[in-house]
A and B are shown apart, each in its own frame.
Chain A
Amino acid sequence: MTIREVVKLLDAEILCGEDRLDTEIHTACGSDMMSDVLAYVKDQSVLLTGLLNPQVVRTAEMMDMLCIVFVRGKKPDAAVIELAKEKGIVLLSTDKRLFVACGILYTNGLGG
């Protein structure tokens, strides 16, 4: 699916990267532990997380991820959004909880 479809499915707000919504994605992961993401993630292109600090963006960048979804209605501060813009990473925010957001994407065909 595309990031645009993720936005729709999760009823998400786009925090940055509107010009990249047509990017194709195939897999995602959900975690609040960045070291676990760094340890276990292979080629996932979307990270769903409840964390908001800049290291979330840096972790995604190290893993060549394309999009971060902040769950439970959370939004990072301007500096984090700026960092994501610099790295070309799309930031989304959804009111859904981590488990629910992951479930919706999984059910709709996104792999783990």
Chain B
Amino acid sequence: MECIRLAYDVDGENFSSAGNASESVKRTLKQLGVSPASVRRVAIAMYEGEINMVIHAHGGRAEVEIYPDYIDIYLKDHGPGIADIDLAMKAGWSTASENIRSLGFGAGMGLPNMKNYSDEMKVDSTVGVGTTVFLRVRF
């Protein structure tokens, strides 16, 4: 099926630039005429994932496929991986440092937010190898 493919390198050394990929996707969806409510759900879910790649996994790659009725987002990193995915998905659970918390993240709401704002979510992770988060948001 025809789709628009976008890909972004997410810089793990630069907290300030975290969000660039999500913003670009948000802009693209807006231009395509996707409803503002759907655009916002995509933006939030992807932004939390992008932030996670930066604060937990030294960056990674975001790959996006936009279809007429939905978007698929793959957030791939080669970070430390997640040992217990069920635990990581729990609201409020976080391994983030005090420093990250002082920047406004690390409340342990990222993965739950991503689940809430997406229609499908899958986390594949191997400790020491990396993590891939898949998100599908229907428009």
**Contact in complex: B26, A62 (CB < 8 Å):** yes
| Binding site secondary structure of chain A | helix
A50's closest neighbor in chain B, by CB?
A: B104
Near B by CB (< 8 A), chain A positions 39-60 give 39, 49, 51, 53-56, 58-59
Smallest Cβ-Cβ distance to B47: which chain A residue: A62
Given contacts A58-B23, A64-B36, contact A33 B104 (CB under 8 A): yes
How near does chain A come to B19, taking the closest CB pair, in angstroms? 4
Mark interface residues in A50-82 (1 if CB within 8 Å of B CB, else 0).
010111101101111000000000000001000
Instruction: Identify the interface centre among A33, A38, A53: most chain B CB within 10 Å of its CB.
Output: A38
Q: Is B62 an interface residue (CB 8 A)?
A: no
In the assembled complex, the CB of B123 is this many whole angstroms from the nearest CB of chain A, namely 17
Contacts of A54 in B (CB 8 A): 15-16, 19
Residue of A whose beta carbon sits closest to that of B17: A54
Cβ–Cβ contact A58 & B47, under 8 A: yes
Chain B interfacial residues counted at CB < 8 A: 25
CB of B48 closer than 8 Å to a CB of A:
yes
Q: Check A53 against B103 for contact (C-beta < 8 Å).
A: yes
Q: Are A62 and B107 neighbours in the complex by a CB distance under 8 Å?
A: no
Asked if B18 is at the interface (CB within 8 A of a chain A CB), the reply is: yes
Q: CB distance B23 to A61 under 8 Å?
A: yes
Which of B's residues lie within 8 Å of A, judged by CB? 15-16, 18-19, 22-23, 26, 36, 40, 43-44, 47-48, 51, 103-110, 112-113, 116
Can you spell out 29 A-B residue pairs with CB atoms less than 8 angstroms apart?
A32-B104, A33-B105, A33-B107, A33-B109, A34-B104, A34-B105, A35-B106, A35-B113, A36-B107, A36-B109, A38-B44, A38-B48, A39-B113, A49-B104, A51-B103, A51-B104, A53-B15, A53-B16, A53-B103, A53-B104, A55-B15, A55-B16, A55-B19, A58-B18, A58-B19, A62-B19, A62-B26, A63-B40, A64-B36
Known contacts A55-B51, A62-B43; 11 additional CB pairs below 8 A are: A35-B109, A35-B113, A36-B107, A39-B112, A39-B113, A55-B18, A55-B103, A55-B104, A58-B19, A59-B47, A63-B44
> Which 8 pairs show the lowest CB-CB distances between chains A and B?
A34-B104, A35-B109, A58-B19, A35-B107, A62-B43, A54-B16, A39-B109, A33-B107
